[in-house]
Amino acid sequence: MARTTGSHSDITGPRIRAAALTLFARYGFAAVSMRQIAKEVGVQAGALYNYTPDKQSLLVELMRDHMVELLAAVQDDDRAAPVVRLERFVRFHIGFHHERPDAVFIAYMELRNLEPENFAEIETLRRRYEGVLERILDAGMARGDFAVADAKVTTWAVIAMLTGVNTWFRSGGRLSLDRVQDQYWQMVRRMVGSVGGSV
């Protein structure tokens, strides 16, 4: 026998990406075989190649989609006060990353499995995202609202701290997402030397 039932072009594609996302996040790109992905989808390994030229492309596509989504979702209104912009950024980052832990995990862990040109592409997107925060910090410094020693270093510090939430926070635990966002916003506000508001 050949195919089992029906034609599933528009169904199989997304299912392959979904399976790859889950499996890559759980076991790592290198540890997951094309046959495992196919099995999860309910298809033979060869069929995957109707949707991706090779395994590497599957990974790149997942990472690129994630980063593009991230950049589309972050919105920074530079007419607002820097403190407001910063608070929005902090809450956004935590919320957005919390909703897609697998994609976040892959985007941070599988960079070394990218071929050079793919790595460069993803890295560019990441830097663009960092740039959003850096501009907020610059604006705050220009207005005297923030007092940070180095905008770049502070950017990396804040993002590392915020992304770290994903390693321990799960819904339904001791703390709600809102509460976590509150706490991290408090920490970030203090970090940048913002004196406005209650402590």
Partner DNA sequence: GATTTATCTGAACAACCGTTCCAAACCAAG
Partner DNA sequence: CTTGGTTTGGAACGGTTGTTCAGATAAATC
Between 34 and 180, name the residue whose CB sits nearer to its own copies. 180
At residue 176, the 3 state secondary structure works out as coil
Question: Which are the contacts of 87, defined by CB distance < 8 A and separation ≥ 6?
Answer: 185, 189
Closest approach, Cβ 62 to DNA, in A, equals: 14
- The one of DNA, its own copies, none whose footprint includes residue 28, by CB under 5 to 8 A per kind, is its own copies
Residues numbered 30-49 forming contacts with its own copies, rule: CB under 8 A = 30-31
147 part of the interface to its own copies, by CB under 8 A: yes
Between 29 and 51, name the residue whose CB sits nearer to its own copies. 29
Between 72 and 149, name the residue whose CB sits nearer to its own copies. 149
- The one of its own copies, DNA, none whose footprint includes residue 191, by CB under 5 to 8 A per kind, is its own copies
- Residue 159 CB neighbours (<10 A): 17
- The one of DNA, its own copies, none whose footprint includes residue 164, by CB under 5 to 8 A per kind, is its own copies
Residues numbered 53-82 forming contacts with DNA, rule: CB under 7 A = 53-56
The closest alpha carbon to 23, from 35, 11, 7, belongs to 35
Query: 8: buried, middle or exposed (CB in 10 Å: 19+, 13-18, 0-12)?
Result: middle
Rounded Cα distance, 196 and 11, in Å? 51
171 part of the interface to DNA, by CB under 7 A: no
How many helices (H) and strands (E) the chain has is answered by: 9, 0
- The one of DNA, its own copies, none whose footprint includes residue 153, by CB under 5 to 8 A per kind, is its own copies
50 part of the interface to DNA, by CB under 7 A: yes
- Angle at Cα 50 formed by Cα 13 and Cα 53, nearest 5°? 100
At residue 75, the 3 state secondary structure works out as coil
The span from the first CA to the last CA of the chain, in angstroms, equals: 69
Using CB under 8 A, list all residues that contact its own copies: 26-31, 109, 112-113, 147, 149-150, 153-154, 156-161, 163-165, 167-168, 175, 180, 182-184, 186-187, 190-191, 193, 199
